[in-house]
Amino acid sequence: MRKNIVAGNWKMNKTLQEGLELAKDVNSRVSGIAPKCQIVLGTPFIHITEVVKTVDSAKISVAAQNCADKASGAYTGETSAAMIQSTGAKYVILGHSERRAYYGETAEILKEKTDLALENGLLPIFCIGEVLSERESNSHFDVVKKQISESLFHLSAEVFGKIVLAYEPVWAIGTGKTASSDQAQEMHAFIRSLLVEKYGKEVADNTSILYGGSCNAGNAKELFANADVDGGLIGGASLKAEDFLAIITAF
């Protein structure tokens, strides 16, 4: 049975001290409610261990924002999936458009990262989405299909069931633009149709597909009301507990 998920992606923001204060604030605000979604905090690497200790694991899980495409070895500055798992983190964000664009992450690299994450007991939040030129040329469906198939479709149905997908129209990240509710639903339904074709209806129905692209308190309720939108991967609006809570309670 698929979950509703609201995942915050802090990106490269917050010192350790600031991050802990934010985690404490989010934890405090959700302590008195019964959220209708799984809450995930995607923190910088240096925050993970302390944030895991700070939050109520029954309501809030912690994610890394990336992992290495190697298991271990002489890869200075990298952080392996096994290292992340040892902190108590449950999820890892993979394939974010910023990683693809700024750090040259290819489909093959993301395939390796996904495999290592799964082998080490982490649940990937796998990002897919098109840039503005691809949307305007009407190739956005082909782009998303290729991103999913090249990095994920080698997985068995059983293993794929551990994947969370996050559709992020790249043209709507940090720009203040948002895909319309209809555009979001159209793409999410298309993604689910790909999963039906590859793995069957049961796997498709049980896969959570999040929307990421300037989702905020003002539009979350409308976005989440769509049949195939199972929550959000939240950037800037996750950096203030009050704003993040408003999205959580949109369900």
pLDDT tens digit sequence for 15-67:
999 999 999 999 999 998 999 999 999 999 999 999 999 999 999 999 999 99
Q: What is the model's pLDDT at position 214?
A: 84
Please report which confidence band the pLDDT of residue 231 belongs to, taking 50, 70 and 90 as the band edges: very high
Q: What is the model's pLDDT at position 94?
A: 98
**Residue 220: is its pLDDT beyond 90?**
yes
Please report which confidence band the pLDDT of residue 5 belongs to, taking 50, 70 and 90 as the band edges: very high
Which of these ranges, 20-29, 83-92, 158-167, 172-181, has the smallest mean pLDDT?
Answer: 172-181
Which of these ranges, 102-111, 113-122, 173-182, has the smallest mean pLDDT?
Answer: 173-182
Which of these ranges, 11-15, 171-175, 216-220, has the smallest mean pLDDT?
Answer: 171-175
**Residue 4: is its pLDDT beyond 90?**
yes
**Residue 85: is its pLDDT beyond 80?**
yes
Q: What is the model's pLDDT at position 175?
A: 73
Global pTM?
Answer: 0.97
Catalytic residue list: 96, 168
Looking at the chain, how many residues does it have? Answer: 251
Q: What is the model's pLDDT at position 6?
A: 98
Q: What is the model's pLDDT at position 174?
A: 72
**Residue 173: is its pLDDT beyond 80?**
no
Contact partners, residue 160, CB within 8 Å, separation at least 6: 152, 195, 199, 203, 207
